[in-house]
Amino acid sequence: MSKKILVIGSSGQIGTELVEGLRARFGSENVVASDIKEPQVKQDGPFAMVNAMDQRGIERVIEKHGITEVYLLAALLSATAEKDPAFAWKLNMESLLIILELAREGKLKKVYWPSSIAVFGPTTPKDNTPQQTVTEPSTVYGISKLAGEGWCRYYNKRYGVDVRSIRYPGLIGWKSAPGGGTTDYAVHIFHEVMKSGAYTSFLGPKSTLPMMYMPDAIRATIDLMEAPSEQVKERGSYNLAGLSFSPEEIAVELRKHYPDFKMGYAPDERQAYADSWPRSIDDSAARKDWGWRPEFDLKAMVDDMVLHLRKKLS
């Protein structure tokens, strides 16, 4: 049976770029995109309008297209989830359990589900945060991701479900808009510098957070899913590091392209979420198990973002 992929939550920040990456690698007709929202950018290839919590609807799409692998990206992120914790828990957990159950029943060969640096909390060591460490998240988003990691590990151990996961840091890209996270400032800042030459950050100047440029994140995701099963030793979720910077540091880098750029600060409730997360991540397990290496540092990321976003916006 050949590979047929379903991406659930394909219209979001990661989905938009992941669908493109998967289609380039495996062919447009072999990747079905699905969401409750229309795609952010026009994509060529099949699209299904379906809710990630609609078990029958998801099953119908899987049967209709002969799906063998699911990438489940639908979720509420940190800031949006805090506005409706009960719904965030429901969406983030129900969608995962539907897919894990389908895999247990043998209807899927492989599952990808993203976790996050939000599984860490104020009691976690902040620098070079290890793969195995204290996880006492303070956001409902983090609680749901930590519980999800537990479910992935359980379905793998108990039922042999081939599920794989990455704890994404903040993701930065020019092709799609982020949706409701604490790290979104690092995307907004590029749009604002180009539109108005000024940006007011909702995180303070020294809030260093782990981040990653989208091409690295997409490559990591597909590489992890394509790695031989025996190399994937961590079945909760892998730490993954790209770069780490603060609002103040990215402003310095942006001024190399826009010398008059004005940066202001007005921290809001998202500051507390950022304060509870690590500054940098130890990803040696991902490096050792399936050969992960990031390509973009801060300068390379900013140079590439500016180049592409400028073109896109003009």
Report the catalytic residues: 141
Exactly one of 14, 77, 100, 108 binds ligand SER (CB under 6 A); which one?
77
Check residue 78 for interaction with ligand SER (CB under 6 A). Answer: yes
Could you give the CA distance from residue 34 to residue 270 in angstroms, rounded to a whole number? 29
Pairing of strands 243-245, 209-213: antiparallel
Exactly one of 34, 116, 129, 135 binds ligand SER (CB under 6 A); which one?
116
Q: Which is nearer to ligand SER, 21 or 180 (CB)?
A: 180
Q: How far is the CB of 141 from ligand SER (least distance, A)?
A: 6
Q: How far is the CB of 153 from ligand SER (least distance, A)?
A: 19
Q: How far is the CB of 188 from ligand SER (least distance, A)?
A: 12
Could you give the CA distance from residue 61 to residue 119 in angstroms, rounded to a whole number? 31
Select from 3-11, 116-124, 278-286, 290-298 the region that touches ligand SER (CB under 6 A).
116-124
Q: Which is nearer to ligand SER, 48 or 247 (CB)?
A: 247
Q: Show the site string, 170-189: x = touches ligand SER by CB under 6 A, - = not.
A: x----------xxx------
Q: How far is the CB of 298 from ligand SER (least distance, A)?
A: 17
Q: Which is nearer to ligand SER, 30 or 276 (CB)?
A: 276
For the segment 245-264, give every residue that binds ligand SER (CB under 6 A): none
**244, β-bridge pairs:** 210
Could you give the CA distance from residue 179 to residue 79 in angstroms, rounded to a whole number? 9
Q: How far is the CB of 19 from ligand SER (least distance, A)?
A: 19
202: closest CA among 272, 152, 135?
Answer: 272
List, in sequence order, every beta strand (DSSP E) within the chain.
5-8, 31-35, 47-49, 69-72, 110-112, 115-116, 163-164, 166-168, 170-172, 198-201, 209-213, 238-239, 243-245, 262-265
For the segment 32-61, give every residue that binds ligand SER (CB under 6 A): none
One-letter amino acid for residue 79 of the chain: A
Could you give the CA distance from residue 138 to residue 290 in angstroms, rounded to a whole number? 30
Residue that the structure tokens 């537990």 belong to: 150
Q: Which is nearer to ligand SER, 165 or 183 (CB)?
A: 183
Check residue 168 for interaction with ligand SER (CB under 6 A). Answer: yes
Q: Which is nearer to ligand SER, 161 or 214 (CB)?
A: 214
Exactly one of 6, 118, 140, 218 binds ligand SER (CB under 6 A); which one?
118
Q: How far is the CB of 26 from ligand SER (least distance, A)?
A: 26
- CA 219 to chain CA centroid, Å, is 12
Please work out, in degrees rounded to the nearest 5, the angle formed at the alpha carbon of residue 269 by the alpha carbons of 267 and 275.
75
- Round to the nearest angstrom and report the end-to-end CA distance of the chain: 45
Q: Which is nearer to ligand SER, 203 or 232 (CB)?
A: 203
Could you give the CA distance from residue 117 to residue 121 in angstroms, rounded to a whole number? 9
- Binding residues vs ligand SER (CB under 6 A): 77-78, 116-118, 141, 168, 170, 181-183
